[in-house]
A and B are shown apart, each in its own frame.
Chain A
Amino acid sequence: MAKDLNAILAGFGGQGVLFMGKAIATAGLLEGREVSWLPSYGPEMRGGTANCAVCVSDETIGCPVVTVPNAAVVMNGPSFDKFVPKVEPAGVIIVESSIVSAKVCRDDVEVYYVPAMELAEKHSLQGLANLILVGKLLAATGFCKMETMPDVMKHIVPPRKAHLIEKNFEAVQLGFGL
Protein backbone atom coordinates (compact mmCIF):
# COMPACT_ATOMS: atom_id res chain seq x y z
CA MET A 1 0.00 0.00 0.00
CA ALA A 2 1.55 3.26 -1.13
CA LYS A 3 1.60 6.33 1.10
CA ASP A 4 -1.11 8.96 0.63
CA LEU A 5 -0.11 12.10 -1.20
CA ASN A 6 -1.71 15.39 -0.14
CA ALA A 7 0.09 17.91 -2.29
CA ILE A 8 -0.11 21.62 -3.00
CA LEU A 9 1.28 22.92 -6.29
CA ALA A 10 1.53 26.68 -6.46
CA GLY A 11 2.90 29.47 -8.60
CA PHE A 12 1.96 32.19 -11.05
CA GLY A 13 -0.92 31.63 -13.45
CA GLY A 14 0.68 30.37 -16.66
CA GLN A 15 3.42 28.31 -15.02
CA GLY A 16 1.33 25.20 -15.44
CA VAL A 17 0.52 24.29 -11.84
CA LEU A 18 -2.97 23.01 -12.73
CA PHE A 19 -1.42 20.80 -15.42
CA MET A 20 1.09 19.44 -12.90
CA GLY A 21 -1.81 18.51 -10.67
CA LYS A 22 -3.57 16.84 -13.55
CA ALA A 23 -0.45 14.78 -14.27
CA ILE A 24 -0.27 13.57 -10.67
CA ALA A 25 -4.01 12.86 -10.41
CA THR A 26 -4.00 11.01 -13.73
CA ALA A 27 -1.10 8.86 -12.54
CA GLY A 28 -3.16 7.88 -9.50
CA LEU A 29 -6.20 7.20 -11.68
CA LEU A 30 -4.22 4.96 -14.06
CA GLU A 31 -2.85 3.00 -11.12
CA GLY A 32 -6.40 2.40 -9.87
CA ARG A 33 -6.11 4.65 -6.82
CA GLU A 34 -8.49 7.31 -5.52
CA VAL A 35 -7.67 10.89 -6.53
CA SER A 36 -8.91 14.45 -6.22
CA TRP A 37 -7.75 17.66 -7.93
CA LEU A 38 -8.98 20.93 -6.53
CA PRO A 39 -7.93 24.12 -8.33
CA SER A 40 -8.01 27.73 -7.34
CA TYR A 41 -10.14 29.44 -9.94
CA GLY A 42 -11.27 32.88 -11.00
CA PRO A 43 -9.02 35.93 -11.18
CA GLU A 44 -6.13 33.87 -9.82
CA MET A 45 -5.90 32.03 -13.11
CA ARG A 46 -5.32 35.24 -15.02
CA GLY A 47 -1.78 36.13 -14.02
CA GLY A 48 -2.03 36.12 -10.23
CA THR A 49 -1.12 33.20 -8.04
CA ALA A 50 -2.64 29.86 -8.94
CA ASN A 51 -2.57 26.70 -6.95
CA CYS A 52 -4.13 23.30 -6.83
CA ALA A 53 -4.49 20.61 -4.21
CA VAL A 54 -4.06 17.01 -5.28
CA CYS A 55 -4.77 13.93 -3.18
CA VAL A 56 -3.83 10.38 -4.13
CA SER A 57 -4.78 7.54 -1.82
CA ASP A 58 -5.74 3.87 -1.69
CA GLU A 59 -8.82 4.92 0.28
CA THR A 60 -11.72 7.17 -0.67
CA ILE A 61 -10.55 10.80 -0.47
CA GLY A 62 -12.20 12.30 2.58
CA CYS A 63 -11.57 15.99 2.26
CA PRO A 64 -10.15 17.29 -1.03
CA VAL A 65 -9.19 20.57 0.67
CA VAL A 66 -5.53 20.30 1.64
CA THR A 67 -4.64 22.59 4.54
CA VAL A 68 -1.66 20.59 5.84
CA PRO A 69 0.11 19.19 2.76
CA ASN A 70 2.70 16.43 2.99
CA ALA A 71 4.27 17.79 -0.18
CA ALA A 72 4.42 21.24 -1.75
CA VAL A 73 5.92 22.51 -4.98
CA VAL A 74 6.32 26.29 -4.85
CA MET A 75 7.11 28.19 -8.03
CA ASN A 76 7.01 31.83 -6.92
CA GLY A 77 7.63 34.05 -3.91
CA PRO A 78 4.02 34.47 -2.70
CA SER A 79 3.47 30.70 -2.87
CA PHE A 80 6.71 30.10 -0.97
CA ASP A 81 5.58 32.46 1.81
CA LYS A 82 2.08 30.98 1.94
CA PHE A 83 2.71 27.26 1.77
CA VAL A 84 6.17 26.54 3.22
CA PRO A 85 4.94 27.04 6.82
CA LYS A 86 1.94 24.76 6.21
CA VAL A 87 3.78 21.60 5.14
CA GLU A 88 3.54 18.89 7.78
CA PRO A 89 6.71 17.81 9.62
CA ALA A 90 8.75 15.31 7.57
CA GLY A 91 6.94 16.55 4.45
CA VAL A 92 8.58 17.41 1.14
CA ILE A 93 9.09 20.94 -0.21
CA ILE A 94 10.33 21.55 -3.74
CA VAL A 95 11.30 25.11 -4.59
CA GLU A 96 11.62 26.45 -8.15
CA SER A 97 14.96 28.14 -7.45
CA SER A 98 15.22 29.87 -10.84
CA ILE A 99 12.47 32.14 -9.54
CA VAL A 100 12.52 31.90 -5.74
CA SER A 101 15.75 32.95 -4.07
CA ALA A 102 14.54 32.45 -0.48
CA LYS A 103 15.67 29.45 1.57
CA VAL A 104 13.43 27.33 3.78
CA CYS A 105 14.14 28.04 7.45
CA ARG A 106 12.79 24.75 8.80
CA ASP A 107 14.80 21.69 9.73
CA ASP A 108 11.84 19.29 10.07
CA VAL A 109 11.13 19.00 6.34
CA GLU A 110 12.85 17.55 3.28
CA VAL A 111 13.72 20.45 0.92
CA TYR A 112 14.89 20.37 -2.69
CA TYR A 113 15.88 23.44 -4.69
CA VAL A 114 15.38 22.83 -8.40
CA PRO A 115 16.19 25.59 -10.93
CA ALA A 116 13.56 24.12 -13.23
CA MET A 117 13.27 26.97 -15.69
CA GLU A 118 17.05 27.12 -16.21
CA LEU A 119 17.21 23.35 -16.61
CA ALA A 120 14.38 23.46 -19.15
CA GLU A 121 16.27 26.07 -21.20
CA LYS A 122 19.51 24.09 -21.03
CA HIS A 123 17.89 20.85 -22.19
CA SER A 124 15.66 22.35 -24.91
CA LEU A 125 12.57 21.70 -22.84
CA GLN A 126 11.26 25.27 -22.88
CA GLY A 127 7.91 25.61 -21.16
CA LEU A 128 8.24 22.28 -19.37
CA ALA A 129 9.74 23.44 -16.08
CA ASN A 130 6.54 22.29 -14.41
CA LEU A 131 7.06 18.69 -15.48
CA ILE A 132 10.69 18.73 -14.36
CA LEU A 133 9.30 19.55 -10.93
CA VAL A 134 6.73 16.75 -11.20
CA GLY A 135 9.66 14.40 -11.89
CA LYS A 136 11.44 15.63 -8.77
CA LEU A 137 8.26 15.23 -6.73
CA LEU A 138 7.94 11.68 -8.02
CA ALA A 139 11.52 10.92 -6.97
CA ALA A 140 10.96 12.46 -3.54
CA THR A 141 7.55 10.97 -2.71
CA GLY A 142 7.03 7.98 -5.04
CA PHE A 143 3.42 9.02 -5.69
CA CYS A 144 3.34 6.62 -8.66
CA LYS A 145 5.53 4.22 -10.59
CA MET A 146 7.81 5.79 -13.20
CA GLU A 147 6.47 3.26 -15.75
CA THR A 148 3.04 4.88 -15.46
CA MET A 149 4.30 8.30 -16.58
CA PRO A 150 4.47 7.77 -20.38
CA ASP A 151 0.83 6.71 -20.30
CA VAL A 152 -0.04 9.74 -18.15
CA MET A 153 1.44 12.02 -20.80
CA LYS A 154 -0.63 10.35 -23.52
CA HIS A 155 -3.75 11.00 -21.43
CA ILE A 156 -3.19 14.62 -20.53
CA VAL A 157 -1.32 16.24 -23.43
CA PRO A 158 -4.05 17.73 -25.67
CA PRO A 159 -4.32 16.30 -29.22
CA ARG A 160 -3.05 19.51 -30.86
CA LYS A 161 0.17 19.13 -28.86
CA ALA A 162 0.53 15.37 -29.34
CA HIS A 163 3.96 15.88 -30.90
CA LEU A 164 5.17 17.09 -27.49
CA ILE A 165 4.28 13.91 -25.55
CA GLU A 166 7.86 12.65 -25.79
CA LYS A 167 9.29 16.01 -24.64
CA ASN A 168 6.88 16.09 -21.70
CA PHE A 169 8.07 12.67 -20.58
CA GLU A 170 11.72 13.71 -21.05
CA ALA A 171 11.10 16.61 -18.67
CA VAL A 172 9.68 14.26 -16.02
CA GLN A 173 12.69 11.95 -16.44
CA LEU A 174 15.09 14.87 -16.12
CA GLY A 175 13.48 15.97 -12.86
CA PHE A 176 13.36 12.41 -11.57
CA GLY A 177 17.08 11.94 -12.12
CA LEU A 178 18.21 15.11 -10.30
Chain B
Amino acid sequence: MSQRVLMKGNEALAEAAIRAGCHHFFGYPITPQNEIVAYMSKRLPKIEGACFLQAESEIAAINMLLGASAAGARVMTSSSSPGISLKTEGISYIAGSDLPVVVVNTQRAGPGLGGIQPSQADYWQATKAPGHGDLRVLVFAPCSVQEMVDMVTTAFDMADKYRMPAIILADGMLGQMMEAVTLPEDRGRQANNKEWATNGHAGENRNIINSLYINPDELEKIIRDRFARYAEIEAKHTQHEEYALEDADIVVTAYGASARVAKAAVRDARAKGIKAGFIRPITLWPFPKEAYAKAANTARSFLCVEMSMGQMVDDVRLAISSKVPVHFYGRPGGIVPAPEEVLAEIEKIAGGMN
Protein backbone atom coordinates (compact mmCIF):
# COMPACT_ATOMS: atom_id res chain seq x y z
CA MET B 1 0.00 0.00 0.00
CA SER B 2 1.56 3.26 -1.05
CA GLN B 3 1.77 6.16 1.35
CA ARG B 4 -0.77 8.96 1.62
CA VAL B 5 0.45 12.38 0.58
CA LEU B 6 -1.01 15.86 0.88
CA MET B 7 -1.55 17.32 -2.58
CA LYS B 8 -3.62 19.92 -4.39
CA GLY B 9 -6.30 18.46 -6.63
CA ASN B 10 -4.73 19.87 -9.80
CA GLU B 11 -1.28 18.50 -8.97
CA ALA B 12 -2.56 15.13 -7.82
CA LEU B 13 -4.52 14.76 -11.06
CA ALA B 14 -1.43 15.65 -13.11
CA GLU B 15 0.73 13.13 -11.27
CA ALA B 16 -1.96 10.45 -11.63
CA ALA B 17 -2.18 11.14 -15.37
CA ILE B 18 1.57 10.60 -15.74
CA ARG B 19 1.33 7.39 -13.71
CA ALA B 20 -1.52 6.26 -15.98
CA GLY B 21 1.00 6.49 -18.83
CA CYS B 22 0.12 9.92 -20.21
CA HIS B 23 3.47 11.22 -21.44
CA HIS B 24 2.08 13.79 -23.85
CA PHE B 25 0.52 17.01 -22.60
CA PHE B 26 -0.40 20.13 -24.52
CA GLY B 27 -1.95 23.09 -22.74
CA TYR B 28 -2.25 26.78 -22.17
CA PRO B 29 -2.39 28.62 -18.82
CA ILE B 30 -5.60 29.78 -17.19
CA THR B 31 -6.65 30.11 -13.53
CA PRO B 32 -7.69 27.97 -11.66
CA GLN B 33 -6.08 25.03 -13.46
CA ASN B 34 -2.53 26.38 -13.81
CA GLU B 35 -1.05 23.84 -11.40
CA ILE B 36 -1.76 21.06 -13.91
CA VAL B 37 0.20 22.76 -16.68
CA ALA B 38 2.98 23.80 -14.27
CA TYR B 39 3.25 20.27 -12.86
CA MET B 40 3.41 18.70 -16.30
CA SER B 41 6.04 21.22 -17.39
CA LYS B 42 8.24 20.13 -14.49
CA ARG B 43 7.73 16.38 -14.68
CA LEU B 44 7.40 15.43 -18.34
CA PRO B 45 10.75 16.81 -19.62
CA LYS B 46 12.45 14.44 -17.15
CA ILE B 47 10.82 11.38 -18.76
CA GLU B 48 12.56 10.09 -21.86
CA GLY B 49 10.41 10.37 -24.98
CA ALA B 50 7.73 12.39 -23.19
CA CYS B 51 6.48 15.73 -24.48
CA PHE B 52 5.20 18.78 -22.64
CA LEU B 53 4.35 21.69 -24.85
CA GLN B 54 2.78 25.01 -23.94
CA ALA B 55 0.81 25.73 -27.07
CA GLU B 56 0.21 29.19 -28.48
CA SER B 57 -3.49 28.88 -27.66
CA GLU B 58 -6.12 26.49 -26.37
CA ILE B 59 -7.18 25.83 -29.97
CA ALA B 60 -3.66 24.81 -30.91
CA ALA B 61 -3.40 22.58 -27.84
CA ILE B 62 -6.58 20.60 -28.56
CA ASN B 63 -5.51 20.06 -32.16
CA MET B 64 -2.13 18.81 -30.96
CA LEU B 65 -4.11 16.26 -28.95
CA LEU B 66 -5.85 15.19 -32.15
CA GLY B 67 -2.52 14.62 -33.85
CA ALA B 68 -0.84 12.86 -30.92
CA SER B 69 -3.86 10.63 -30.32
CA ALA B 70 -4.05 9.75 -34.02
CA ALA B 71 -0.45 8.58 -33.73
CA GLY B 72 -1.47 6.37 -30.79
CA ALA B 73 -0.18 8.43 -27.86
CA ARG B 74 -1.96 8.65 -24.52
CA VAL B 75 -2.57 12.40 -24.35
CA MET B 76 -4.22 15.04 -22.18
CA THR B 77 -4.96 18.76 -22.02
CA SER B 78 -6.46 20.86 -19.28
CA SER B 79 -8.06 24.26 -19.10
CA SER B 80 -10.79 26.19 -17.37
CA SER B 81 -14.17 27.27 -18.69
CA PRO B 82 -13.33 30.03 -21.25
CA GLY B 83 -10.44 27.91 -22.51
CA ILE B 84 -12.69 24.88 -22.88
CA SER B 85 -15.02 26.93 -25.09
CA LEU B 86 -12.07 27.42 -27.44
CA LYS B 87 -11.41 23.69 -27.47
CA THR B 88 -14.92 22.62 -28.42
CA GLU B 89 -14.28 22.62 -32.16
CA GLY B 90 -11.31 20.33 -31.63
CA ILE B 91 -13.27 18.06 -29.31
CA SER B 92 -15.90 17.62 -32.02
CA TYR B 93 -13.22 16.74 -34.61
CA ILE B 94 -11.66 14.28 -32.15
CA ALA B 95 -15.05 12.64 -31.48
CA GLY B 96 -15.68 12.57 -35.24
CA SER B 97 -12.32 10.90 -35.75
CA ASP B 98 -12.99 8.30 -33.01
CA LEU B 99 -9.91 9.26 -31.04
CA PRO B 100 -9.27 8.82 -27.32
CA VAL B 101 -8.15 11.92 -25.38
CA VAL B 102 -8.65 13.28 -21.87
CA VAL B 103 -9.68 16.92 -21.36
CA VAL B 104 -9.75 18.40 -17.86
CA ASN B 105 -12.04 21.34 -17.11
CA THR B 106 -11.29 22.95 -13.73
CA GLN B 107 -14.42 25.09 -13.96
CA ARG B 108 -14.58 28.79 -13.10
CA ALA B 109 -17.49 31.17 -13.36
CA GLY B 110 -18.80 32.31 -16.72
CA PRO B 111 -20.09 33.41 -19.15
CA GLY B 112 -17.29 35.20 -20.95
CA LEU B 113 -14.18 35.59 -18.86
CA GLY B 114 -16.55 35.45 -15.87
CA GLY B 115 -14.50 35.03 -12.72
CA ILE B 116 -11.81 32.76 -11.37
CA GLN B 117 -13.67 31.25 -8.42
CA PRO B 118 -15.21 27.73 -8.44
CA SER B 119 -18.30 27.16 -10.54
CA GLN B 120 -20.35 24.40 -12.15
CA ALA B 121 -21.78 26.43 -14.98
CA ASP B 122 -20.30 24.21 -17.72
CA TYR B 123 -22.53 21.19 -17.08
CA TRP B 124 -24.57 21.85 -20.20
CA GLN B 125 -21.45 22.36 -22.28
CA ALA B 126 -19.81 19.15 -21.06
CA THR B 127 -22.86 16.91 -21.25
CA LYS B 128 -24.94 18.36 -24.11
CA ALA B 129 -22.71 20.21 -26.53
CA PRO B 130 -18.98 19.73 -25.98
CA GLY B 131 -18.71 20.41 -29.72
CA HIS B 132 -21.01 20.51 -32.75
CA GLY B 133 -22.64 17.42 -34.20
CA ASP B 134 -24.25 14.23 -32.93
CA LEU B 135 -21.76 13.19 -30.32
CA ARG B 136 -21.20 12.16 -26.74
CA VAL B 137 -18.13 12.41 -24.58
CA LEU B 138 -17.52 10.60 -21.31
CA VAL B 139 -17.93 13.06 -18.43
CA PHE B 140 -16.51 12.25 -15.01
CA ALA B 141 -17.28 14.42 -11.97
CA PRO B 142 -14.80 14.01 -9.11
CA CYS B 143 -15.76 15.34 -5.67
CA SER B 144 -12.48 14.86 -3.81
CA VAL B 145 -8.77 15.00 -4.52
CA GLN B 146 -8.67 11.19 -4.38
CA GLU B 147 -11.33 11.04 -7.08
CA MET B 148 -9.36 13.53 -9.21
CA VAL B 149 -6.63 10.87 -9.10
CA ASP B 150 -8.77 7.78 -9.56
CA MET B 151 -10.95 9.20 -12.33
CA VAL B 152 -8.14 10.33 -14.58
CA THR B 153 -6.92 6.73 -14.81
CA THR B 154 -10.43 5.46 -15.52
CA ALA B 155 -10.96 8.24 -18.06
CA PHE B 156 -7.89 7.22 -20.07
CA ASP B 157 -8.81 3.54 -20.03
CA MET B 158 -12.43 4.20 -21.02
CA ALA B 159 -11.44 6.69 -23.71
CA ASP B 160 -9.10 4.09 -25.21
CA LYS B 161 -11.61 1.28 -24.95
CA TYR B 162 -14.39 3.21 -26.68
CA ARG B 163 -12.19 5.47 -28.83
CA MET B 164 -13.75 8.73 -27.71
CA PRO B 165 -12.91 11.88 -25.70
CA ALA B 166 -13.36 11.94 -21.94
CA ILE B 167 -13.83 15.11 -19.88
CA ILE B 168 -12.97 15.39 -16.20
CA LEU B 169 -15.39 18.07 -15.03
CA ALA B 170 -13.79 19.46 -11.87
CA ASP B 171 -13.91 22.99 -10.48
CA GLY B 172 -11.68 25.59 -8.85
CA MET B 173 -12.35 24.26 -5.38
CA LEU B 174 -11.29 20.70 -6.19
CA GLY B 175 -8.31 21.97 -8.16
CA GLN B 176 -7.01 24.27 -5.43
CA MET B 177 -7.74 22.28 -2.27
CA MET B 178 -5.38 19.78 -0.70
CA GLU B 179 -6.45 16.47 0.77
CA ALA B 180 -4.66 13.29 1.75
CA VAL B 181 -4.41 11.13 -1.31
CA THR B 182 -3.03 7.74 -2.32
CA LEU B 183 -1.44 7.73 -5.77
CA PRO B 184 -1.56 4.70 -8.05
CA GLU B 185 1.47 2.70 -9.16
CA ASP B 186 3.24 4.10 -12.22
CA ARG B 187 2.14 2.04 -15.21
CA GLY B 188 4.77 3.50 -17.52
CA ARG B 189 4.05 4.75 -21.03
CA GLN B 190 1.07 3.06 -22.64
CA ALA B 191 2.12 1.46 -25.91
CA ASN B 192 1.05 3.33 -29.02
CA ASN B 193 0.59 0.19 -31.10
CA LYS B 194 -3.17 0.66 -31.37
CA GLU B 195 -4.21 -1.13 -34.54
CA TRP B 196 -5.97 1.93 -35.93
CA ALA B 197 -3.17 4.39 -35.15
CA THR B 198 -1.39 6.32 -37.91
CA ASN B 199 2.05 5.56 -36.58
CA GLY B 200 3.90 4.58 -39.72
CA HIS B 201 2.89 1.59 -41.82
CA ALA B 202 5.30 2.14 -44.69
CA GLY B 203 2.96 1.47 -47.57
CA GLU B 204 1.05 -1.55 -46.25
CA ASN B 205 -2.40 -1.43 -44.61
CA ARG B 206 -2.45 2.33 -44.28
CA ASN B 207 -4.66 3.73 -41.52
CA ILE B 208 -6.60 6.91 -42.14
CA ILE B 209 -7.91 9.19 -39.37
CA ASN B 210 -10.57 11.52 -40.66
CA SER B 211 -13.85 13.16 -39.69
CA LEU B 212 -15.02 14.18 -43.17
CA TYR B 213 -17.53 11.94 -44.96
CA ILE B 214 -19.07 13.44 -48.06
CA ASN B 215 -21.42 10.54 -48.65
CA PRO B 216 -24.38 10.87 -46.23
CA ASP B 217 -25.13 7.12 -46.29
CA GLU B 218 -21.61 6.39 -45.15
CA LEU B 219 -21.73 9.07 -42.45
CA GLU B 220 -25.11 7.92 -41.18
CA LYS B 221 -23.77 4.43 -40.66
CA ILE B 222 -20.70 5.70 -38.85
CA ILE B 223 -22.82 7.83 -36.53
CA ARG B 224 -25.22 4.95 -35.84
CA ASP B 225 -22.30 2.66 -35.03
CA ARG B 226 -20.91 5.28 -32.70
CA PHE B 227 -24.27 5.58 -30.94
CA ALA B 228 -24.37 1.81 -30.51
CA ARG B 229 -21.10 2.18 -28.59
CA TYR B 230 -22.63 5.02 -26.56
CA ALA B 231 -25.57 2.75 -25.68
CA GLU B 232 -23.19 0.08 -24.45
CA ILE B 233 -21.44 2.64 -22.24
CA GLU B 234 -24.76 3.80 -20.80
CA ALA B 235 -25.64 0.21 -19.97
CA LYS B 236 -22.30 -0.75 -18.46
CA HIS B 237 -20.48 2.28 -17.10
CA THR B 238 -22.94 4.60 -15.37
CA GLN B 239 -21.74 5.38 -11.86
CA HIS B 240 -23.31 7.11 -8.89
CA GLU B 241 -23.19 7.27 -5.08
CA GLU B 242 -26.23 6.93 -2.82
CA TYR B 243 -26.68 7.80 0.85
CA ALA B 244 -29.64 7.31 3.20
CA LEU B 245 -32.15 6.75 0.39
CA GLU B 246 -34.12 3.83 1.92
CA ASP B 247 -36.76 5.92 3.68
CA ALA B 248 -35.96 9.33 2.18
CA ASP B 249 -38.83 11.77 1.59
CA ILE B 250 -36.49 14.40 0.15
CA VAL B 251 -33.67 13.35 -2.15
CA VAL B 252 -30.89 15.93 -2.37
CA THR B 253 -28.63 15.61 -5.38
CA ALA B 254 -25.44 17.31 -6.51
CA TYR B 255 -22.16 16.51 -8.21
CA GLY B 256 -18.55 17.55 -7.66
CA ALA B 257 -17.69 20.14 -5.04
CA SER B 258 -21.31 21.05 -4.32
CA ALA B 259 -21.97 17.37 -3.56
CA ARG B 260 -19.62 17.66 -0.58
CA VAL B 261 -21.71 20.57 0.72
CA ALA B 262 -25.05 18.92 -0.09
CA LYS B 263 -24.15 15.64 1.58
CA ALA B 264 -23.08 17.49 4.75
CA ALA B 265 -26.47 19.23 4.72
CA VAL B 266 -28.25 15.87 4.33
CA ARG B 267 -26.42 14.54 7.40
CA ASP B 268 -27.45 17.66 9.34
CA ALA B 269 -31.06 17.25 8.18
CA ARG B 270 -31.06 13.61 9.33
CA ALA B 271 -29.73 14.75 12.72
CA LYS B 272 -32.78 17.03 12.93
CA GLY B 273 -35.12 14.15 12.12
CA ILE B 274 -35.81 15.08 8.49
CA LYS B 275 -35.90 12.07 6.18
CA ALA B 276 -33.39 13.29 3.63
CA GLY B 277 -31.34 11.14 1.25
CA PHE B 278 -28.66 11.80 -1.32
CA ILE B 279 -27.66 10.86 -4.86
CA ARG B 280 -24.39 11.94 -6.42
CA PRO B 281 -23.76 11.25 -10.11
CA ILE B 282 -20.13 10.19 -10.56
CA THR B 283 -20.51 10.00 -14.33
CA LEU B 284 -22.49 12.96 -15.72
CA TRP B 285 -22.56 11.28 -19.08
CA PRO B 286 -23.73 8.61 -18.93
CA PHE B 287 -26.18 10.08 -16.40
CA PRO B 288 -27.45 7.70 -13.67
CA LYS B 289 -31.10 8.01 -14.76
CA GLU B 290 -32.18 4.73 -13.21
CA ALA B 291 -30.98 5.67 -9.73
CA TYR B 292 -33.21 8.76 -9.85
CA ALA B 293 -36.16 6.90 -11.33
CA LYS B 294 -35.95 4.32 -8.57
CA ALA B 295 -35.70 6.96 -5.84
CA ALA B 296 -38.72 8.76 -7.32
CA ASN B 297 -40.86 5.68 -6.54
CA THR B 298 -40.66 6.48 -2.83
CA ALA B 299 -39.40 10.06 -2.46
CA ARG B 300 -41.87 12.95 -2.32
CA SER B 301 -39.52 15.58 -3.72
CA PHE B 302 -36.01 16.25 -4.96
CA LEU B 303 -33.60 19.12 -4.39
CA CYS B 304 -30.81 19.70 -6.88
CA VAL B 305 -27.87 21.81 -5.64
CA GLU B 306 -25.42 23.35 -8.09
CA MET B 307 -22.91 26.18 -8.37
CA SER B 308 -24.92 27.59 -11.29
CA MET B 309 -28.44 28.81 -12.05
CA GLY B 310 -29.56 25.22 -12.61
CA GLN B 311 -28.32 22.92 -15.35
CA MET B 312 -28.16 19.34 -14.06
CA VAL B 313 -31.62 19.93 -12.61
CA ASP B 314 -33.02 19.45 -16.15
CA ASP B 315 -31.57 15.94 -16.32
CA VAL B 316 -32.96 15.09 -12.88
CA ARG B 317 -36.47 16.13 -14.00
CA LEU B 318 -36.12 14.06 -17.18
CA ALA B 319 -34.79 11.05 -15.27
CA ILE B 320 -37.85 10.97 -13.02
CA SER B 321 -40.25 12.09 -15.79
CA SER B 322 -41.23 14.98 -13.47
CA LYS B 323 -43.09 12.46 -11.30
CA VAL B 324 -42.53 14.52 -8.15
CA PRO B 325 -41.38 18.15 -7.73
CA VAL B 326 -37.69 18.86 -8.31
CA HIS B 327 -36.56 21.96 -6.42
CA PHE B 328 -33.37 23.82 -7.13
CA TYR B 329 -30.83 25.71 -5.05
CA GLY B 330 -27.79 27.26 -6.71
CA ARG B 331 -25.07 29.85 -6.26
CA PRO B 332 -23.68 31.17 -9.55
CA GLY B 333 -20.76 33.49 -10.15
CA GLY B 334 -18.05 31.66 -8.22
CA ILE B 335 -19.67 31.12 -4.83
CA VAL B 336 -19.60 27.76 -3.05
CA PRO B 337 -22.86 27.34 -1.12
CA ALA B 338 -22.63 26.72 2.62
CA PRO B 339 -24.15 23.58 4.18
CA GLU B 340 -26.45 25.80 6.28
CA GLU B 341 -27.96 27.33 3.13
CA VAL B 342 -28.72 23.88 1.73
CA LEU B 343 -30.07 22.71 5.08
CA ALA B 344 -32.40 25.72 5.14
CA GLU B 345 -33.74 24.72 1.70
CA ILE B 346 -34.26 21.12 2.86
CA GLU B 347 -36.14 22.38 5.93
CA LYS B 348 -38.28 24.67 3.78
CA ILE B 349 -39.24 21.76 1.50
CA ALA B 350 -39.84 19.44 4.47
CA GLY B 351 -42.08 22.09 6.06
CA GLY B 352 -44.10 22.45 2.88
CA MET B 353 -44.72 18.71 2.63
CA ASN B 354 -46.43 18.37 6.02
**A complexed with B:** yes
By a CB distance below 8 angstroms, the chain B residues around A42 are 31-32, 116-117
Nearest A residue to B6, CB-CB: A29
Nearest B residue to A21, CB-CB: B178
Nearest B residue to A66, CB-CB: B338
Given contacts A62-B264, A62-B267, contact A41 B338 (CB under 8 A): no
By a CB distance below 8 angstroms, the chain A residues around B260 are 62-65
Contact A65 B178 (CB under 8 A): no
A98 and B127 alpha carbons, distance in the complex (Å): 52
Contact A26 B172 (CB under 8 A): no
B176 on the A face (CB < 8 A): yes
Question: Interface size for chain B: under 10, 10 to 19, 20 to 34, or 35 or more residues?
Answer: 20 to 34
B177 CB contact (under 8 Å) in A26, A34, A64: A64
B263 on the A face (CB < 8 A): yes
Question: Interface size for chain A: under 10, 10 to 19, 20 to 34, or 35 or more residues?
Answer: 20 to 34
Contact A41 B116 (CB under 8 A): yes
A2 and B134 alpha carbons, distance in the complex (Å): 54
Nearest A residue to B173, CB-CB: A38
Cβ < 8 Å to B, chain A residues 29-45: 29, 34-39, 41-42
A126 on the B face (CB < 8 A): no
A29 and B338 alpha carbons, distance in the complex (Å): 25
Contact A22 B339 (CB under 8 A): no
Contact A22 B261 (CB under 8 A): no
By a CB distance below 8 angstroms, the chain B residues around A28 are 180
By a CB distance below 8 angstroms, the chain A residues around B336 are 65
A114 and B260 alpha carbons, distance in the complex (Å): 34
A61 on the B face (CB < 8 A): yes
| Given A36-B177, A42-B117, 17 other A-B residues pairs in contact with their CB atoms under 8 A | A22-B178, A29-B6, A36-B178, A38-B173, A38-B176, A39-B176, A42-B31, A42-B32, A42-B116, A62-B260, A63-B260, A63-B339, A64-B173, A65-B261, A65-B339, A67-B338, A67-B339
Q: Which 7 A-B pairs have the closest CB atoms?
A: A63-B264, A37-B178, A62-B264, A67-B338, A38-B177, A42-B116, A63-B260
